[in-house]
Structure 1
Amino acid sequence: MISGIIRGTVIGAASWLCLAAAPALAKCENIPSGLDAPPPPQNTGRDIVGQELDQIFDQGYMTFGVYEDFPPFSFLKDGAPAGIDVDLGQIIAAEMGLEARFELVQAGENVDNDMRTYLWQHSKLGAPIVNVLMHVPYNIDFACRNEMVVITGQYFEERIAIAYDPVVYPDTPPTPAYFRFDKVAVENDSISDFFLSGAFGGQIRPKIVRVGNPIAAVNEIGQDGVAAAMGPRVQLEYAAGSEYPVSADPIPSFSMGSWTLGVAVHQAYRDLAYSVDDAIGAAIADGRMAKIFAAYGATYTEPER
């Protein structure tokens, strides 16, 4: 199943709702550890996999893991990988004087498993080990829980938004309160689904139309009385195009309405992580990052770094 909080970066609904935003400089000693902490997912074999930075330079290319069927971030176009994360990977590699190669990877049960599978532990199923895994949530609790990787390179802030039919809402964008009376489409088992299901004492629940992903949610607008779709802003904007407006106004009582995305690298290769972070920082500073998002019809929101 590839549904969840963020398509392709599934943490698991319950655990994601527990991840509150934290300052980037927060220390891991503030995170429960030892006997007070739950068993971390990396308590398994620790054979070193991956490549040193010198090996990467010697071979002339670096590999990126991007999630399959995850538009507009990563998908196949004319048989080749395309999307925001692919374009960013090209920039990172070019900044380092390398060729970018991409592995379209499957989303697992959660991101912890994805990082284990694609970054630091050989998979029994033959999954590829990559140098950089794209589209990883940047959160201090999550980072401290996964000591086998470095989560770095914050490149954008995602937030929950609402795409809507301007015929139904000609004056102002709808808020969740409207969905007590109007149908709204969401990705099944996503953060939007959980939020709306519990809002207003469950009054919205009968009006929720659940589909496979945010793109499909937008496509439901205008069908069988569906007036809006709720989900991650970038995906809604990509799907809505010029047909439907998208509102990213703050949603009352929605504590996890926004989050930061970055990349992950094996903890043994911190010099690679530094180089990747520098390349991302340069792309943000000179406007190339915003241009990538604009090319896919999406609004770019710069993260705290």
Structure 2
Amino acid sequence: MTITNIPSPEDNPFFIIKVRHIFGWYFLLGIGIYFQIGMIGYTRGIPFDGKTPLDPLVDEIAGTYLSILILALVWRQCRLAGIEIKYLVGKVPERYQWLPLVGLAIASVVFALGVFRIFYYPLSFIVPSFVEKILIDYRNSSILIRGSKTFFPAFYYLILAIYYALSPIFSAFILMAIILHRWAAKWGNTRAIIAFFLLSLISYNFIYSVIATFIHAILYVKTRSLLVLIFFLALKNIIWVIWDLSSTTFLDNQPGSTLDVFRSQIQLGVLFFALSAPWVIGFIYKNWSVLKGPLPYFANASEAEKIKADSET
């Protein structure tokens, strides 16, 4: 099966999947989970409000539980729509070069750190209060700081490890495999990629988010393997954790205000950008044309049909 031999658009199984339903499930289930948490806290005399925020452990448990529920619901929808999961996942290419992928993951994280500092450095003089709030929120999201605020740090780190292991699967399967194929079925490949770019603009580091979206799409379409993308995302998570731990220990403990510390790191941001941009931009420039071809599901299905036909002759 390829996108060209589907009799009509309605025969494309991805037309049955509705992205608005996925977002709706995420929103409603999220509200339901936190409502239950609030009710449990209320019955035990523990208010959850602006002055008494959720314990980081409870927050991570809720996020992990929500991700599992969404994955299960979307998986069920795929089965009902007749979507073959094996064609979405694909196979790892033979003799795949993993070392360049590791380098690309490192370069992607370094690029994100550099772009963030370069973009927000001039804004820290124009709208200092806005940038300072972002920096404080970012610092408070550090693993070590959140772990120090929970009543059971060891269990918090365990749940966090589960969440980090689950998030690459969630991101690759839901965002890249399902939503990309659905939007491509509706609008075509080019418009689907543009829609992904627009979706990534909601991030505070939106420049990197757009670049990361391009990289993830290229990896998936080029290798036709969701496993390669999952490995890449997991590797990035590990690198982010290492950076989070090291920056919290060394960089964020410098004397001075939050803005002063951030501004003093502009040279580091320029260095990070200079080292990573050629690798990241070069990868996109060399491989962007693969996005014009068939998406992995149809390419994998077509290959499977060809192998089956050859074996029968």
Q: TM-score, normalised by structure 1?
A: 0.25
Higher helix share: 2
Higher strand share: 1
Q: Which has the larger radius of gyration?
A: 2
